[in-house]
Amino acid sequence: MKKTITIKEIAKKSNVSVSTVSRVLNNHPSVSPAKREKVQAIIEKEGFQPSMLARGMVSNKTRTIAVVVSDITNPYFTSLVSEIELASGEQNYSLLLFNTMTAGRQKKADSSFTERDTFKTIIEKKVDGVIILGGEIDRDIPQKEYLQALEQLNNQVPVLIIGQNQVDCSCSFLERDLEKGVFLSVQHLLALGNRRIGFIGGEEGVKITTQRVQAFEKALSLYSSFDSSLIYLSDFYTEDGYNSMTSVLKQQTPLPDAILAINDRVAIGAFRALADHGLSCPEDIAIASCDSFPDGDYQIPRITTINQHNQILGKLAVTRLLKLIDEEPLETVDLHSPDLIIRESCGIGRK
């Protein structure tokens, strides 16, 4: 059986340093074409297949990124993780996914403890960087113990959080422009003649809910009138949309002209609630959503929603994290710009 050649042996045969071989293996640009060609020729001749462990021993990197997500069944997180994986793969990085189940119907009682325990595991795995999606950091007031554990993690490995900035946290944040998406939706519903507009979905005490409700109130107060009794908070899932819309139908007289759902899943639940009460969207109540999920164009009716551009967000997250890993300066990154997707549920073109 042929003995597997080592990186040190490749360096000796190529008459270059071990670090140069490492840079070639990691596709680093700071290698001259002549040296790269020489090293690659030896690699191909010997049939060398570098392991992540071997690379890490030389470069002090594992070329692995940990992604911590609070609920992988949430379509928003699923879509964003997919984009992060694609962007990471383009840079020859692999992902290590941690689904903490600290949100959704299977969420654990002490979510903060679960995430803190996950941070310890991440440190043991020797990853190069961490991306966090959702969880305790998304709360208006995260637990003190969680923030302390997060700081400890960030002191050992770069951490990037896709979410709204948290004061007293030194991690890097990549924020979404939540206000713009809400304003686009409300302006569109108002332009179609709706005046009595409600808001459903979203968990109380979570930044994305708090900021979107604040933007909703601001937009309506600016262009029409705001009625706090039309706010029905619950959570981010289909059954929450169903339950919130059921409450609206039972408690509101007259019914609202339109509803803004916190995401497409909540909107779908609202469609079902309307149907179960002999009503329909958009004929009886128009509905729009703040967050586009996959397949929104195949619902009945098709959902008017906000495209948060997860492809752009995923690439930005990976780009920024790699700069943190390489200790390169971060350029100023503008907030991403969401766009309104106009479809049937808002009642456009309705006679």
pLDDT in tens, 262-301: 999 999 999 999 999 999 999 999 999 999 998 899 999 9
Selected from 3.30.530.20, 3.40.50.300, 1.10.357.10, 1.10.260.40, the CATH number assigned to the domain covering 7-59 reads 1.10.260.40
Work out the pLDDT band at 101, boundaries 50, 70, 90: confident
Radius of gyration of the chain from Cα atoms?
A: 25
- Which CATH superfamily is 64-175 part of? Response regulator (3.40.50.2300)
In degrees to the nearest 10, what's the CA dihedral of 171, 201, 258, 196? -90
Structure tokens at 5: 């050649």
Work out the pLDDT band at 61, boundaries 50, 70, 90: confident
pLDDT in tens, 221-247: 999 999 999 999 999 999 999 999 999
Find the mean pLDDT for residues 32-44: 87
**Does the pLDDT of residue 109 top 80, yes or no?**
no
Res 24: pLDDT: 81
Token look-up 């409700």 returns 213
Q: CA–CA distance from 118 to each of 4, 259, 284 (Å)?
A: 36, 38, 47
**Does the pLDDT of residue 1 top 50, yes or no?**
no
272-280: long-range contacts at Cβ-Cβ below 8 A with a sequence spacing of 24 or more?
272/238, 272/241, 272/242, 273/241, 273/242, 273/243, 273/245, 273/246, 273/249, 274/245, 274/249, 276/246, 277/246, 277/249, 279/249
pLDDT above 70 coverage of the chain, percent = 89
| Beta strands 258-261; 231-232: pairing state | unpaired
Give kind and range of the element (H or E) at residue 260: strand 258-261
Res 110: pLDDT: 60
Which fold, 178-308+340-346?
A: Rossmann fold (3.40.50)
Work out the pLDDT band at 10, boundaries 50, 70, 90: confident
Work out the pLDDT band at 313, boundaries 50, 70, 90: very high
> Which among 29, 92, 18, 30 is positioned nearest to 59, based on CA atoms?
18
Residue ranges of the chain assigned to CATH 1.10.260.40: 7-59
Q: How far is the C-alpha of 60 from the C-alpha of 53, rounded, in Å? A: 9
For residue 301, cis peptide bond before it (omega within 30 degrees of 0): yes
**Does the pLDDT of residue 336 top 80, yes or no?**
no
The Cβ of residue 329 has, within 10 Å, a number of other Cβ atoms equal to 5
Answer for the pair 160, 324: CB distance below 8 angstroms, yes or no.
yes
Backbone torsions φ then ψ of 18, nearest 5 degrees: -60, -40
Residue ranges of the chain assigned to CATH 3.40.50.2300: 64-175, 178-308+340-346
For residue 29, cis peptide bond before it (omega within 30 degrees of 0): no
* Average pLDDT of the chain to the nearest whole number: 89
Res 106: pLDDT: 59
Question: Three-state SS across 282-294?
Answer: CCCCEEEECCCCC
Find the mean pLDDT for residues 70-85: 93
258, β-bridge pairs:
197, 286
Tell me the pTM.
0.81
Work out the pLDDT band at 248, boundaries 50, 70, 90: very high
Looking at residue 254, its amino acid is: P
Res 163: pLDDT: 92
